[in-house]
Amino acid sequence: QVQLVESGGGLVQAGGSLRLACAASGRTFSGYAMGWFRQVPGKEREFVTAISRGGSGTYYADSVKGRFTISRDNAKNTVSLQMNSLKPEDTAIYYCAASSLGSWFLRRTKEESYDYWGQGTQVTVSS
């Protein structure tokens, strides 16, 4: 079992920055690939970014490429999401998720590839 707790959400003006953090507890953190998803009420949850177990592989949705950066610290059991140049369309609840799947790389953008989810943190970008 892995418990995930997100933090760092809030209200920011367009063009601003926020840094989200996800703290993991439970089983060995380095055994999990990690991802961030986001969801707007009434819409499906969408993939934002993901990072491999060791941190060498990072992947981004086209909508955030060049603006968002995912990173992880396996010694501290944390994964972070640095969000720059925020836009109103980035407004959503952001969730971190952990995957133990051996085939995670092939399906890293799919919700069903992730075993554990945090409770989410709200990010609101005003225009």
Residue 112 is given by DSSP the state G
Question: Which of 61-65, 83-87, 101-105 is least confident?
Answer: 101-105
The pLDDT tens digits for 7-30 are: 999 999 999 999 999 999 977 899
pLDDT confidence of 105, banded at 50, 70, 90? confident
Bridge partners of 24, per DSSP, are 4
- Asked if 120 and 94 touch (Cβ cutoff 8 Å), the reply is yes
How many other C-beta atoms can be found within 10 angstroms of the C-beta atom of residue 13? Answer: 10
Which pLDDT belongs to residue 29? Answer: 93
Within 10 A of 75 (CB to CB), how many other CB atoms are there? 8
Token pair in block for residue 53: 């177990």
Residue 106 banded pLDDT, cuts 50, 70, 90: confident
Q: Which of 4, 27, 24, 2 is nearest to 120 (CA)?
A: 4
**Do the beta carbons of residue 61 and residue 67 sit within 8 Å?**
no
How far apart CA 76 and CA 125 sit, in angstroms, is 29
Please determine, for residue 54, whether its predicted confidence score (pLDDT) is greater than 90.
Answer: yes
Asked whether the predicted pLDDT for residue 78 surpasses 90, the reply is: yes
